[in-house]
Amino acid sequence: MVNQNVWDIGRWAAVDRVSYDFMTRYIFEKMSSRCSFQGKRILELGCGTGRLSYLALKNGATSVTLVDSSYKAISLARGLFIKEEADSYSIIHSDIFEFVPNEKYDLVFSAGLIEHFREDDRPRILRRHMDLSQAECIIIHPTDTMYSAIFNRLPQAIKLYGFQQSYSEEEICHYITSIVQVVNYDSIRFHPFYTVPMFHNLEVANRFFDRIGCGKVFGGLTLTYVQVSS
């Protein structure tokens, strides 16, 4: 299960409002380059602050549904959407595996979620994305690199983010293609300085090295896109 206490205690418990930092904008740009949000009913699993879903709503989504098991995350997301039309969004406090929607969604996505699951729950959380989508899925996750493996074991990283174990692109592809009939599938790496101290949030540096192709090899984040057969 996800370490929901990471949101509910410590650093995140003291956060009252969220901002649209470089990381949020960059991830959303990568998502937008892969698919349109226009006219779609969207579900975000493990929504955290809800910033990506909010941007999806502002970029044409018909409605967004956000699900998270953390009270703190839900509180932050509700604060973000407070001025939006009530029928344009739904924010639900629930365990992801226990969430039961009335229908499937056009697009299901998550960012920074799947790496928090262990052992048998690894294929299970991927199946959850596929089961809830009738068309498309986007999954943003840390790339499986040597540095990522080291970072995930650092005491400070565990304190801030809880348990993390990156998936390789091959592992995700194997799980997903065994679950659903795939119409289109691809995986791209980006953000070469993800989690690297001093460079993590340097927008110009990350964009530059992505632009010249370094992100394709050394990218610390991976976007996995899946179009499923409805």
* Tokens (6 digits) for 126: 């991927």
Q: Are 143 and 166 spatial neighbours (Cβ–Cβ below 8 Å)?
A: yes
Query: Whole-angstrom Cα distance, residue 222 to residue 195?
Result: 13
* pLDDT score of 2: 44
Query: Whole-angstrom Cα distance, residue 139 to residue 109?
Result: 6
* pLDDT score of 4: 47
For residue 16, what is the DSSP state?
-
Query: Whole-angstrom Cα distance, residue 209 to residue 211?
Result: 5
Give residue 84's identity as a one-letter amino acid code: E
Give residue 147's identity as a one-letter amino acid code: Y
Query: Whole-angstrom Cα distance, residue 48 to residue 159?
Result: 17
Identify the three-state secondary structure at position 220. Answer: coil
Task: Give Cα 192 distance to the centre of its chain.
Answer: 17
Query: Whole-angstrom Cα distance, residue 52 to residue 46?
Result: 11
* Tokens (6 digits) for 151: 């970072």
Q: What share of the chain is helix, strand, coil (3-state, %, to 5)?
A: 40, 25, 35
The mean-pLDDT minimum among 55-59, 157-161, 185-189 falls in 157-161
Q: Are 163 and 135 spatial neighbours (Cβ–Cβ below 8 Å)?
A: no
Residues 6+ apart with CB under 8 A from 62: 39, 40, 41, 88
* pLDDT score of 147: 83
Find the mean pLDDT for residues 46-61: 96
- Indicate whether 55 pLDDT > 50: yes
- Beta-ladder partners of 69: none
For residue 88, what is the DSSP state?
G
Phi/psi at 27 (5° precision): -60, -45
- Indicate whether 98 pLDDT > 80: yes
Mean pLDDT (the chain, rounded)? 90
pTM recorded for the entire structure? 0.92
Domains of the chain, earliest start first: 5-228 (3.40.50.150)
